[in-house]
């Protein structure tokens, strides 16, 4: 029989998160009762730790567990996610996720006592919660009347700003009717029509506009967080007017009747397959119970471990700002518009440093005085300079956040960090060779095959001294969009980019070279792309494509120039599947001509180690 967690009910009741039994407690269900609700039957249960008991309400997705007999009276359960709410001098635990550990228990364990008298006694001593006199009751009811309907229905006029900040106030409260049927964010899907979530707005974007040949309009988005996960929600056109001044960053809301759609990953940094779209029927209500919902959800990656993440991956990172290179204005290649950027160097207790780029308003407003600790959610990994980071437009930056990691980093930096020496990713990935990691250690192609590099779940990085022995002359480049770099489709005399929805008079060609590289041990085909290929060939892809159309012999001579040239190459090996066939793809990510003096010194050092 499973041993239940004595003292856990008191810890849950008091929200004592420091108590060891607060997390994932084992409790006994000593009673189950059906409760009618607008969206179907819900179940109220009594949970016990053998010493105390309290009331709890199961989230709607657990209804089938009771009705199928998987959750029975006297069963032992493990609570995984829950929220404790207070209502009318009574605390009720809302259970969002649980596992049944033992449903064969036949009797109640111990002689548990209620805890509700503690809250009632405290309330009786508080003048703020005293019952109003009969004369005051009508007045109190009249004052409370405007709070009885806080939902914004589709036939309600768009809220107008009522203060200089443009915020239409809503009176927050705990809506117990909604609390009994809350749905966790992680359980949302397009096939679930009736749901209500209670979530915090962790980020709110500015109002943006778009225009293309098919439509134009406005939008804004928010990131929503509860105890189970996060999801992005977007409002378009009329809903911008209706909701922008209502949704405030940091506030908690009940939200229902929004449309659940597949997430557009190019516009979101959240780990969720779905996103929400606010429409005319969407209902919002401000909730006063902010303590039950987390402020922010981070999954931090240590700086030294960033080498294990692929280019364009989205991660969360926390670090101390060691350097600030100031703000600069550049012209963005994708839009041709000026944009501001600020490059920071951040460090952590892994003794590694990395460059982090901030953009536009975030870059303009950032203050690096006093070596602040910054927590970033939604930074993209780049292989520029080995590894670097860029805060995406959908990302979030918090300065000196109230997190345990912040306190730990501040203490470490004050004691050791200021005088430490840090290694960087400049010049390539750093770390011990192994699955999913990078290494500057030299290896051979045969050793790469023997070690099966690139056959794991993550890519492997290695360095070789390789010679280009063959270049495939067919399909060396593709017609690309100059903005998004995607392949163009030819339509008569013009070219069209399906992603940007634009027509172009001519394409911008980019290299996709396939080359055979050999060393003294083996030979392997590898791919390389525009920047590296331009350096190898000695001209850009547009010039070579033009030469191919005008002078085929000279075109072949240009392709032959890199042959039998030797380079120090940094390679990425990754397992890919195409047409149900798995193979390891090798990509050249850096190719440097041989520095014979440096090579000589390296050989001498290698010989000395053998002696």
Condensed to tens digits (0 to 9), the pLDDT of residues 560-569 reads 999 999 999 9
* Residue 158 pLDDT: 36
% of the chain residues with pLDDT over 70? 84
Burial (0-12, 13-18, 19+ Cβ within 10 Å), 47: buried
Edge to edge, what strands does the sheet with 502-504 contain?
Answer: 489-491, 494-497, 502-504
Tell me the average pLDDT across 395-412.
89
Q: How many Cβ atoms sit within 10 Å of the Cβ of residue 15?
A: 14
Helix orientation angle between 530-537 and 541-550, rounded to the nearest 10 degrees: 60
Tell me the average pLDDT across 469-481.
90
Q: Which range among 105-119, 354-368, 437-451, 562-576 shows the weakest confidence by mean pLDDT?
A: 437-451
Q: What is the mean pLDDT of the chain?
A: 81
Q: How many Cβ atoms sit within 10 Å of the Cβ of residue 56?
A: 24
On whether the CB atoms of residues 356 and 388 are closer than 8 A, the answer is yes
* Residue 332 pLDDT: 66
Fold match between domain 176-292 and domain 303-419: yes
Tell me the average pLDDT across 320-334.
80
* Residue 439 pLDDT: 45
Taking CB atoms within 8 Å and a gap of at least 24, the contacts of 474-478 are: 475/512, 476/511, 476/512, 476/513, 476/533, 476/541, 476/544, 476/559, 477/509, 477/510, 477/511, 477/512, 477/541, 477/544, 477/545, 478/509, 478/510, 478/512
d(CA 26, CA 4): 5
176-292 folds as OB fold (Dihydrolipoamide Acetyltransferase, E2P) (2.40.50)
* Residue 493 pLDDT: 84
Q: Which of 117, 107, 26 is nearest to 72 (CA)?
A: 107
* Residue 294 pLDDT: 83
DSSP assignments along 504-531, one per residue: ESS-EEEEEEEEEEE-SS-EEEEEEEHH
On whether the CB atoms of residues 591 and 565 are closer than 8 A, the answer is no
Q: Which of 105, 3, 97, 95 is nearest to 47 (CA)?
A: 95
The answer to whether residue 27 scores a pLDDT higher than 80 is yes
Tell me the average pLDDT across 461-483.
89
Q: State CA 43 to chain mean position distance.
A: 34
Q: Which of 439, 429, 221 is nearest to 307 (CA)?
A: 429
Per-residue confidence band for 580, with pLDDT thresholds at 50, 70 and 90:
low
Condensed to tens digits (0 to 9), the pLDDT of residues 335-350 reads 667 888 898 999 998 8
Q: How many Cβ atoms sit within 10 Å of the Cβ of residue 161?
A: 11
The contacts of residue 12 (CB under 8 Å, 6+ apart) are: 22, 25, 54, 79, 82, 84, 93
d(CA 194, CA 220): 24
Angle of CA points 301, 575, 270, to nearest 5°:
35
The answer to whether residue 172 scores a pLDDT higher than 70 is no
Tell me the average pLDDT across 35-40.
62
* Residue 356 pLDDT: 92
Tell me the average pLDDT across 4-16.
89
Of residues 94 and 40, the one with the higher pLDDT is: 94
The contacts of residue 611 (CB under 8 Å, 6+ apart) are: none
On whether the CB atoms of residues 229 and 185 are closer than 8 A, the answer is yes
Let me know if domain 445-605 sits in CATH 2.40.50.140: yes
Q: State CA 359 to chain mean position distance.
A: 18
Furthest-apart CA atoms within the chain: distance in Å: 102
Q: Which two tokens stand for residue 299?
A: 């999954």
Beta strands 252-256 and 208-211 are: unpaired
Distances (CA, A) of 545 to 283, 414, 536: 57, 57, 15
Distances (CA, A) of 376 to 104, 299, 354, 423: 47, 10, 13, 21
Tell me the average pLDDT across 492-501.
85
* Residue 140 pLDDT: 36
Q: Which two tokens stand for residue 26?
A: 């084992």
Where are the domains positioned within the chain?
A: 8-122, 176-292, 303-419, 445-605
d(CA 483, CA 481): 5
Phi and psi, residue 408, nearest 5° = -65, -45
Q: Which two tokens stand for residue 58?
A: 């199961």
Phi and psi, residue 209, nearest 5° = -120, 155
Beta strands 566-578 and 581-593 are: antiparallel
H or E element: which one contains 553? helix 552-560
Per-residue confidence band for 519, with pLDDT thresholds at 50, 70 and 90:
very high
d(CA 384, CA 366): 23
The contacts of residue 371 (CB under 8 Å, 6+ apart) are: 320, 321, 322, 413, 418
H or E element: which one contains 356? strand 353-359
For the domain 8-122, what is the CATH code?
2.40.50.140
* Residue 454 pLDDT: 81
Q: Which two tokens stand for residue 154?
A: 């589709």
What residues are paired with 28 via a beta bridge? Answer: 48, 76
Q: Which two tokens stand for residue 606?
A: 């290698």
Q: How many Cβ atoms sit within 10 Å of the Cβ of residue 207?
A: 11
Q: Which two tokens stand for residue 310?
A: 């692929």
On whether the CB atoms of residues 547 and 537 are closer than 8 A, the answer is no
Helix (H, G, I), strand (E, B) or coil at 444: coil
* Residue 579 pLDDT: 64
- Out of 2.60.40.10, 2.40.50.140, 3.90.550.10, 3.90.1150.10, which CATH number does the structure's domain 303-419 have? 2.40.50.140
The contacts of residue 167 (CB under 8 Å, 6+ apart) are: 161, 245, 246, 248
Q: Which two tokens stand for residue 151?
A: 């939902």
pTM over 0.85: no
Residue labelled with tokens 């809903």: 239
H or E element: which one contains 200? strand 196-204
Per-residue confidence band for 434, with pLDDT thresholds at 50, 70 and 90:
very low
Residue labelled with tokens 């041709």: 336
Q: Which two tokens stand for residue 288?
A: 């006063």
DSSP assignments along 304-353, one per residue: GGGGGS-TT-EEEEEEEEEEEEEEEEEE-TTT--EEEEEEEEEE-TTSBE
- Up-side HSE of residue 71: CA atoms within 13 Å toward CB? 28
Q: Which range among 108-122, 213-227, 485-499 shows the weakest confidence by mean pLDDT?
A: 108-122
Q: Which range among 42-46, 85-89, 268-272 shows the weakest confidence by mean pLDDT?
A: 85-89
Phi and psi, residue 140, nearest 5° = -65, -40
Tell me the average pLDDT across 426-430.
39
Q: Which range among 41-50, 65-74, 154-163, 466-475 shows the weakest confidence by mean pLDDT?
A: 154-163
């Amino acid at each position: 029989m499973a041993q239940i967690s004595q003292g856990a009910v008191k810890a849950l009741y008091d929200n004592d998160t420091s108590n060891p039994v607060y997390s994932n407690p084992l409790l006994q269900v000593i009673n189950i009762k059906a409760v009618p609700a607008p969206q179907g039957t819900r179940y109220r249960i009594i949970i016990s730790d053998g010493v105390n008991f309290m009331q709890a309400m199961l989230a709607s997705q657990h209804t089938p567990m009771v009705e199928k007999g998987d959750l029975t009276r006297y069963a032992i359960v493990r609570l995984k996610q829950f929220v404790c709410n207070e209502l009318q001098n009574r605390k009720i635990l809302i259970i969002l996720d649980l596992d049944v550990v033992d449903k064969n228990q036949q009797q109640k364990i111990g002689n548990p006592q209620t805890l509700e008298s503690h809250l009632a006694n405290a309330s009786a001593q508080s003048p703020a919660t005293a019952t109003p006199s009969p004369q005051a009751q009508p007045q109190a009811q009249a004052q409370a009347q405007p709070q009885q309907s806080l939902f914004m229905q589709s036939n309600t006029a768009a809220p107008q700003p009522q203060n200089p900040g443009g915020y239409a106030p809503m009176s927050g409260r705990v809506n117990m009717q909604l609390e009994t049927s809350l749905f966790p964010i992680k359980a949302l899907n397009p096939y679930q029509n009736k749901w209500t979530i209670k979530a915090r707005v962790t980020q709110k974007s500015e109002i943006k506009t778009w225009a293309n040949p098919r439509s134009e309009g406005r939008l804004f988005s928010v990131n929503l967080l509860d105890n189970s996960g996060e999801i992005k929600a977007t409002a378009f056109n009329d809903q911008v007017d209706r909701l922008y001044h209502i949704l405030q960053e940091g506030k908690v809301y009940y939200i229902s009747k929004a449309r659940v759609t597949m997430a557009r990953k190019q516009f979101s940094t959240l780990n969720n397959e779905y996103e929400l779209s606010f429409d005319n029927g969407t209902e919002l209500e401000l909730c006063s119970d902010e303590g039950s919902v987390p402020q922010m959800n981070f999954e931090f990656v240590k700086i030294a471990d960033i080498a294990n993440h692929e280019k364009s991956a989205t991660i969360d990172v926390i670090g101390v700002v060691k350097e600030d290179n100031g703000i600069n204005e550049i012209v963005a290649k994708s839009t041709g518009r000026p944009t501001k950027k600020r490059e920071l160097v951040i460090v952590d207790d892994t003794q590694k440093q990395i460059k982090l780029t901030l953009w536009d308003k975030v870059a303009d407003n950032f203050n690096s005085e006093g070596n602040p600790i910054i927590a970033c959610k939604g930074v993209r990994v780049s292989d520029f300079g080995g590894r670097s980071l860029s805060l995406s437009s959908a990302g979030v930056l918090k300065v000196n956040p109230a997190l345990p990691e912040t306190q730990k980093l501040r203490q470490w930096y004050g004691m050791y960090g200021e005088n430490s020496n840090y290694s960087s990713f400049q010049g390539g990935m750093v770390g011990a060779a192994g699955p999913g990691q990078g290494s500057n250690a030299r290896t051979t192609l045969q050793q790469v095959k023997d070690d099966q590099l690139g056959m794991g779940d993550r890519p492997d990085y290695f360095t070789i001294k390789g010679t280009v022995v063959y270049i495939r002359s067919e399909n060396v480049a593709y017609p690309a969009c100059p903005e998004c770099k995607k392949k163009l489709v030819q339509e008569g005399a013009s070219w069209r980019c399906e992603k940007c929805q634009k027509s172009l008079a001519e394409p911008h060609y980019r290299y996709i070279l396939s080359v055979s590289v050999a060393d003294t041990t083996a030979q392997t085909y590898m791919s390389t792309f525009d920047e590296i290929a331009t350096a190898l060939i000695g001209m850009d892809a547009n010039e070579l494509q033009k030469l191919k159309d005008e002078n085929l012999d000279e075109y072949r001579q240009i392709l032959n120039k890199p042959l039998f040239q030797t380079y120090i190459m940094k390679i990425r090996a990754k397992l890919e599947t195409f047409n149900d066939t798995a193979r390891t793809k090798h990509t050249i990510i850096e190719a440097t001509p041989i520095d014979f003096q440096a090579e000589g010194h390296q050989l001498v050092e290698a010989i000395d180690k053998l002696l």
